[in-house]
Amino acid sequence: MLASEGRPFSRATILKVVELTDDSGEVHVLSIARIWGVALGFPNPWLLPSKREWAQQRDQVAAAIHELKALGRTAHGSVIGARNPTRRINAEALRLGCTAIVMGADAPQNRLIADLVWSQEPYRVQKKAGMPVYLVLG
> Can you list the domains of the chain with their CATH numbers?
2-137 (3.40.50.620)
Q: Using alpha carbons, select from 87, 91, 92 the residue that is nearest to residue 77.
A: 92
Q: What is the pLDDT of residue 49?
A: 85
Q: What is the pLDDT of residue 41?
A: 67
Q: What is the pLDDT of residue 3?
A: 97
pTM recorded for the entire structure: 0.87
Q: What is the pLDDT of residue 134?
A: 97
- Residue 109: phi and psi, rounded to 5, are -100, 175
pLDDT mean by block of 10 residues, the chain; 138 residues: 95 96 90 79 72 95 97 96 92 95 88 66 92 93
Q: What is the pLDDT of residue 35?
A: 83
Who contacts 85 (Cβ-Cβ below 8 Å, separation ≥6)? 5, 6, 32, 34, 121, 125
H, E, C per residue of the chain: CEEECCCCCCHHHHHHHHHHCCCCCEEEEEEEEECCCCECCECCHHHCCCHHHHHHHHHHHHHHHHHHHHCCCEEEEEEEEECCHHHHHHHHHHHCCCCCEEEEECCCCCHHHHCCCHHHHHHHHHHHCCCCEEEEEC
